[in-house]
Chains A and B, each alone.
Chain A
Amino acid sequence: MPAPEPEDLRALGEKIDEARGADSRPPPQGALGVAFRFGTELMVGLGVGAGIGWLLDRWLHTTFLIVVMTILGAAAGILNVMRAAKELNAEAAKYPAPAVKNDDDEE
């Protein structure tokens, strides 16, 4: 096979880049995936908080830390969900969806 001309290669490279274009983005995470992700964040936050509280209680021979840590864990879970949502928003903003014209939009 004869070596292709560099010019041909460059043209081919440009063509490939063009064809790939905006489509080199990662696959969209479907609504189910997003829901699943937020769900795990919340549950894991609660679980980890309760777990830490339980261990601390056993270690320090107290009884109230599990309550405090469960609440903190729930808060951490919500914080995680907020951060995940922020990440997803930032990612969505990078690849703007094609504008959809809404005829009813009077405001």
Chain B
Amino acid sequence: MAINPMAQFEVKTLLPLHIGGYDVSFTNQSLWMFIIVGAGSLFLYIAATGRSLVPSRMQSIAELSYEFVADMIHSAAGEDGLRFFPFIFTIFVFVLLSNFFGLIPGSFTVTSQIAVTFALAAVVILMVILTGFLTHGIGFLKLFVPKAPIYLLVLLVPIEIVSFLTRPISLSVRLFANMLAGHTMLKVFAFFVIALGATLASPKPWFAPLSIAPLFLIVAITALEILVAFLQAYVFAILTCIYLNEALQLHEHH
């Protein structure tokens, strides 16, 4: 029994592997990412093979998730944004499944690792920059120039640039911190249950029944975590849409 509530986030090497001086070992993190990608692909593949007019349950889930993401992109980035459907759908499903699989007791939450969330955010931001330059050429840099008197631009342009640079960080920190906080909280309360239950063998056994209280809390927090798992995947995906939309439209956001 791990008493340390942070032990669950430890990356353990399963298959040591060194290529060109770099440690590229296969870890529990890699394993769970494979499981997530595999499960997501397999599910959507099986769900899409039926293709009946009256959908089966699995097909319904696939259709609903398709519609959900398509609606989200449409409302956040308009018609133009639908070109990015495969990209955003993949990110959404990956984050959602990572968050949900992480809730399975004994599993590993890949989105609780800043390395994973930052890699995702970096891909998103690179996509935004690429889209911006491909759509507007050098004019994409106008994103950093708000409508303001020229003497204020000296101050505003650096602020806009820093604001843009914070995006990948805040995108990754938000997801990682939410997952980390939730799972740590669960472990801490689980420890309370065990610690209070263990008093049964101590000179003060009347504390033992109290262990039911943190147990109820764990149930409540688990429910909250399911909501957070979905919400964070949604927030990650919709912010991707919003950033892509900005790169496409060069919106005046003032």
Contacts and interface: CB of A to CB of B under 8 A. Distances in A.
- B: interface residue count bin: 20 to 34
A37 interface: yes
Interface string A43-55: 1110111001000
B182 to A, nearest CB: 11
Given A27-B227, A29-B235, A40-B174, A76 B166 contact: yes
A106 to B, nearest CB: 36
A24 to B, nearest CB: 7
Interface stretch (B2-10, B41-49, B157-165, B185-193): B157-165
A69 B170 contact: no
A53 to B, nearest CB: 10
Nearest to A1: B54
A36 B174 contact: yes
B231 A27 contact: yes
Given A27-B227, A40-B170, A76 B54 contact: no
Contact of A69 (B54, B75, B162, B253): B162
Contacts of A76: 159-160, 162-163, 166
Majority secondary structure of chain B interface residues (helix, strand, loop or mixed): helix
A29 B54 CA distance: 33
A90 B121 CA distance: 24
B242 A48 contact: no
B162 A73 contact: yes
Contacts of B230: 27
B178 interface: yes
A40 B163 contact: no
A15 to B, nearest CB: 14
21 contacts: A3-B53, A26-B238, A27-B227, A29-B235, A33-B231, A36-B177, A40-B174, A41-B170, A44-B166, A45-B162, A48-B165, A48-B166, A52-B162, A72-B162, A76-B160, A76-B162, A76-B163, A76-B166, A79-B160, A79-B163, A86-B253
Interface of A: 3-4, 9, 24, 26-27, 29, 33, 36-37, 40-41, 43-45, 47-49, 52, 69, 72-73, 75-77, 79-80, 83, 86-87, 94
